[in-house]
Amino acid sequence: MSVVKLVATVDRIEGEYAVLLLPVGEQEIAVDWPVALLPSGVREGSKIKFGLSQDEDAEAAARQRVANLLRKLTQGTSE
């Protein structure tokens, strides 16, 4: 499984949201992020590490729930 790792910079904190600068190639994009989801002690200028990966187990479980629901709906309409 591949993991995308990146480091964001906390540009500023505005009330309940922090503006994170995420590297995209040679540029940065600003993303609003809830302060409640940041580690304690984070402040403007802090660096935040992210590791992103696909959750294949959760995806398979969601697909199964949808398939079960569709089966119930189609069986219910044909009776």
Cβ neighbours, 10 Å, residue 42: 16
49 with 9: CB under 8 angstroms?
Answer: no
50 with 33: CB under 8 angstroms?
Answer: no
Number of domains in the chain: 1
What CATH number did the domain enclosing 34 receive? Answer: 2.40.50
Range of the domain at 51: 4-78
> d(Cα 57, Cα 9) in Å, to the nearest integer?
31
Tokens of 49: 């590490």
Tens-digit pLDDT profile for the chain (79 aa)?
789 999 999 999 999 999 999 999 999 999 999 999 999 999 999 999 999 999 999 999 999 999 999 998 888 755 4
